[in-house]
Amino acid sequence: MNQPYLEMDSISKQFSGIYVLKNVSLKAFEGEALALLGANGAGKSTLMNILGGVLHPDEGRVLIKQKVTEIRSTIDAEKIGIGFIHQELALCPSMSVAENIFISRFPIKNGVIKKKFIEQKSNEVLKRLGCSIDVKKKIRDLSAGDKQLVEIARVLISNAHILIFDEPTSSLAINEKERFFKIISSLKRENKVIIYITHFLDEIFSICDKVQVLRNGETAGIVNVHDLNHHDIVTLMVGEIETDTAQKAAPVQNREKVLRVSDLKRLDVLNSMSFDLYKGEVLGLWGLMGSGRTELIRAIRGLDELDSGQIEIKIDKELRPVAPDKTKKWIGLITENRREDGLFLPLSVRENISVASLPSLLTGNKFFVNTKKEEKLSKELVRMLDIKVTGIQQSAGTLSGGNQQKMILARWLGKKPPIFIMDEPTRGVDVGAKNEIHKIIKNLARKGFSILLISSEIEEIMELSDRYLVLRRGSIVKELPGNSSKNELMLWAAKGKNKEATG
């Protein structure tokens, strides 16, 4: 049998006296993709951060081609040929594609960056990946999928032989995912060693060869993909999970409007969008990447300027106009982009959860926060959502990706606004937690809260929505009932397929 190219041998790591990894060993082979799976907080990113030189193990060693290899820093890792495509992309938005690809290795001549050279080389590597992005474009003008390609190109240009992907597809559109899988296959043909972290279990069957599952910082199993099915993997990850079989609520008669959006316009982004949201419903906003879903909810919450339009919210039994920058009092926003507009990373879990509920947590004189109440609330929500923390004082930035996502949900559940906007509420959370979050969303609706939901996963939006609005190129093109078929949804979202709608 051939030898592993990479071996991690009995790695242990503690944070504040708690084991995050315990005696974990891993083997990876050339020309193969190894899926690294596990529930939120299982230790996947930590293990890979050790390989990437970001963290140092307390115990254990790394072997490359059977030789013990010290990885003291990210620079060491790069020299050894370890390339990391991170969970949260780390590109520089104001710089060009070529500049980002060469960011850590600018070739300089007489104090000037050799622009032509980096552009040419960037073109070459992108071509090797089978895609053509204008290398002069600024990163901020790229789609999520193209940004990720730039990350991959950046790693390839450094001659990485081991490629680590940490949840690479969580922000990709369907067609971008397909392109990405092709790239993985071609990297395998180039004999690269691939380690692939994902919560989308279906993906691993098409691209991975072996699976290693971590559970609470220990290896729960290492298996060939062909010897497993979806259910086996879930069981290895989290034990048996129960599914919620409750049917969707029947459409209610005499429904009560809680939100009316009229004629929202913003040049090139929103073309006169209007709709109503009713009490106790989950309204799914469905559309492809770039259809305007995120832009619409950002506009409702006053995060972007509008050219015109009106938002009315039911306050004291009547719909009343509310300025977009004031809607946050009634509308809780759970975003997909936890890094940019959600969390306060240096602050504690307790503070991050209670921040939305502060007015109700003040002491009698309204000057101080009632810390007892604050603590109680955060602890309750941490328990309810099963957020993996060492304590509510742990700083938000040190939580695993999925647990950060749950914390944003906890924040708004604590405040209980009448309306929730949820933009990819389960992005990055594991199957068990996803199930929990789905139950919570259904329960919120049953209790009379109204939810505007965005999800790029068609199964998720179909499972939860009582009604759909299909968006395309900044317009609402169709309203569909909750029992519509997958085909209908796909058809309406893609109809008149064009560049903007898919890019």
Ligand X SMILES: Nc1ncnc2c1ncn2[C@@H]1O[C@H](COP(=O)(O)OP(=O)(O)OP(=O)(O)O)[C@@H](O)[C@H]1O
Is position 402 an interface residue for ligand X (rule: CB under 6 A)?
Answer: yes
Number of residues that bind Mg ion (CB under 5 A): 3
3-state secondary structure of 95: coil
46 binds, among ligand X, Mg ion, none (CB under 5 to 8 A by kind): ligand X
Distance CA 373, CA 347 (A): 18
Strands 308-315 and 450-454: unpaired
Among 46, 96, 198, 502, binds ligand X (CB under 6 A): 46
Q: How many residues does the chain have?
A: 503
CA angle 62, 68, 74 (to 5 degrees): 55
User: What DSSP string describes 270-325?
Assistant: EEEEEEEEETT-EEEEE--TTSSHHHHHHHHTTSS--SEEEEEEEETTEEEE--GG
Site for ligand X in 14-33 (CB under 6 A): 15-16, 20
Nearer to ligand X among residue 13 and residue 266 (C-beta): 13
428 touching Mg ion, by CB under 5 A: no
Site size toward ligand X (CB under 6 A) is: 19
Q: Which one, of 413, 415, 423, lies nearest residue 443 by Cα?
A: 413
Tell me if 399 contacts ligand X by CB under 6 A: yes
| Residue 403 lies near ligand X (rule: CB under 6 A) | yes
Q: Of these, 89, 398, 463, 500, which contacts ligand X (CB under 6 A)? A: 398
Please name every residue paired with 468 in a beta bridge, in sequence order, or none if there are none: 284, 480
Question: Of 128-136, 227-235, 352-360, 401-409, which part binds ligand X (CB under 6 A)?
Answer: 401-409
Complex with ligand X: residue 36 or 501, whichever CB lies closer: 36
Two tokens, residue 482: 């909750």
Residue 252's CB: how many other CB atoms inside 10 A? 12
* Secondary structure of residue 209 in the 3-state scheme: coil
- The residue (of 375 and 386) whose beta carbon lies closer to Mg ion is 386
Segment interacting with ligand X (CB under 6 A) among 35-43, 65-73, 156-164, 364-372 = 35-43
Residues in contact with Mg ion, shown as a per-residue x/- string from 106 to 135 under the rule CB under 5 A: ------------------------------
Q: Is 198 in the site for ligand X (CB under 6 A)?
A: no
Residue 467 sits at φ, ψ, to 5 deg, of -160, 155
For ligand X, the binding residues in 425-454 under the rule CB under 6 A are 430
Contact between 118 and ligand X per CB under 6 A: no
Using the rule CB under 6 A, is 51 a contact of ligand X? Answer: no
Q: Is residue 400 close enough to count as binding ligand X by CB under 6 A? A: yes
Nearer to ligand X, 23 or 398 (CB): 398
Rounded Cα–Cα distance for residues 393 and 428 (Å): 23
Q: Does 401 bind Mg ion (CB under 5 A)?
A: yes
Stretch 469-498: interaction string toward ligand X, x if CB under 6 A: ------------------------------
Tell me if 269 sits within 8 A of 295, measured CB to CB.
Answer: yes
Among candidate residues 16, 11, 4, the one with its CA nearest the CA of residue 399: 16
* Interface residue with ligand X, options 5, 6, 33, 38 (CB under 6 A): 38
Among the residue ranges 44-52, 76-84, 128-136, 249-257, the one whose residues contact Mg ion (CB under 5 A): 44-52
Cα distances (angstroms) measured from residue 312 to each of 262, 316, 318, 332, 422:
8, 12, 9, 15, 19
Which range binds Mg ion by CB under 5 A, 42-50, 90-98, 178-186, 256-264?
42-50
Nearer CB in complex with ligand X: 122/171? 171
In this chain, which stretch among 38-46, 129-137, 142-150, 288-296 interacts with ligand X, using CB under 6 A? 38-46
d(CA 213, CA 430): 12
Any contact of residue 71 with ligand X (CB under 6 A)? no
**Residue 206, number of CB atoms within 10 A of its CB:** 12
Check binding of 405 to Mg ion (CB under 5 A). Answer: no
Provide CB contacts within 8 A for 452, sequence distance 6+. Answer: 259, 277, 283, 285, 297, 300, 419, 420, 421, 422
3-state SS of 153-205 is HHHHHCCCCEEEEECCCCCCCHHHHHHHHHHHHHHHHCCCEEEEECCCHHHHH
CB of 290 to ligand X, least distance (A): 26
Q: Which is nearer to ligand X, 455 or 502 (CB)?
A: 455
Q: Which residues bind ligand X (CB under 6 A)?
A: 15-16, 20, 38, 40-46, 388, 398-403, 430
Q: Which residues bind Mg ion (CB under 5 A)?
A: 45, 400-401
